[in-house]
Amino acid sequence: MAGFNESAVVQVIAVPAVCTLITFLGYFPQILFRNETLQPGPPSTSETYIFNTLLALLWYTYYKAVTTDPGRYVFDEKIIEVEGRWCNKCDAPKPPRAHHCRHCKRCVPKMDHHCPWTKNCVSMTTFPHFYRFLCYANFALWYLCYLVFQRFYALWEERHMPAYLGPSIPVLASLAISGLVCFFTSLLLGIMLVTTTKNWVFNQTTIEGWEADRHEAIAERGGKDWWDVTGPDGKKFRFEKVEFPYDIGFFENMSQAMGTSFFPMWLFPFAGNPKIGTSKSGKRTGWEWEENGFNRTEGMWPPPDPEKIRRAARTWPAGRRDFDAELRALDDDDEQFKEAFRKRQAADIERRKNMMVAELEEDDEYGMPSDVDENGDWVNEDGEKLVDFGVDVDDGMPGDDRVEGITTAHDEDVPLAELIRRRKAAARP
């Protein structure tokens, strides 16, 4: 389903399709129920008010879920490089829990997934509106199911009456279609409401749930709480089992997601949403996240993927580009430049040989993964990959950017002129 949601056609027609579905289920049955042959007759005044109020709240919360900005990070000045996570597409630091959305074209704070049905990211700023939309959509559908059931029950009660005294074939067909569309829509949105509520209570986004499943699969494959993996630079780093750090208690989790601990406002349709803080205001909301302290240190999520790290080692050159060495080489003469190149080439060949030996040893001990596709990307039990949630995986490998020696295509594509620009910018007072 995630792959289908990512298709270009769905991205274009999704929002009009949702509006059409709301219009059909919201107004066509009300016209149908007024048919004089359909018992128990038109809905009462109170039933009409209740259903149309839920419908109005559904429209409003959907509008907010579609139009609310998913958030963006604004930096006071141009940052050339930084310790920690880095987004190659934004060319800027990537705070914890943020991911680069390939549809929104920026790093989104606490990105859950990109929802084509709202044409927007479900994120730190949009989650409250998205969740309220799901709630009021389900409330309206459940009430419509109740009204439709009344008509079907009346038909069952009058099943022994002559057919010509009851509703016509077009009316019966319209009632059946309305009932089926209502039932299946309610079923799908009900499942979505349950999964979203679970994520809300445990303070875990859909992407983080995927990362947790991947991490659990890797840990089970190794059969240990930790083991050593050889990085692309030929050095060993320790892979260890990591607990999800952002579950800080169900009430705090829910309050954090909704932006307030005053729980009557959580489902209030006109309530607001959390805002991205700024360093100038002193509030760092969306930049830093409280952790539960179950890991040996903070900042260990997302955990690295050893298979991706090993795959990065097979690329050429084996290690990360040494930008400092390349800048220094600009001042060397031809002979010095050639000699430095030969040394780097010999070091890369030796590193590659060591990596091949280490990889064979790790294969003997831990076995080859069976849950990756032909491109080496991990696939969960539902057949979903990280890209299916709208994440631009080319912005850097989640968790792996903490391991020395990881090389990305973006690193390899940095031109010499850009290196010179960075040197001048770094030297600027």
Mean of the pLDDT values across residues 218-224? 76
Residue 147 counted as domain residue:
yes
Tell me: pLDDT of 40 over 70: yes
Domain count, the chain: 1
139-163 tens-digit pLDDT: 999 999 999 999 999 998 887 777 7
Backbone angles phi, psi at 301, to 5 degrees: -110, 140
Q: Residue 258 domain-assigned? A: no
pLDDT at 259: 93
Domain membership of residue 101 as a residue range: 8-204
What tokens appear for 92 in the block? 């800027």
160 within a domain of the structure (yes/no): yes
Which residues are catalytic, by number? 115
The string of pLDDT tens digits covering residues 189-203 is: 999 999 999 999 999
* CA angle 406–409–410, rounded 5-degree value: 95
**pLDDT at position 368, please?**
46
pLDDT score recorded for residue 318? 43
Q: What is the mean pLDDT of residues 205-215?
A: 92
pLDDT higher than 80, residue 361: no
pLDDT of residue 104: 92
Is 262 among the domain residues?
no
Q: Is residue 250 part of a domain?
A: no
In a domain, 374, yes or no: no
| Mean pLDDT on 113-129 | 95
For residue 416, being part of any structural domain is answered with: no
Across residues 209-223, what is the average pLDDT? 84
Instruction: Give the pLDDT confidence of 373-392 residue by residue, as tens digits.
Output: 666 677 877 778 888 888 88
Residue 333 lies inside a defined structural domain of this protein: no
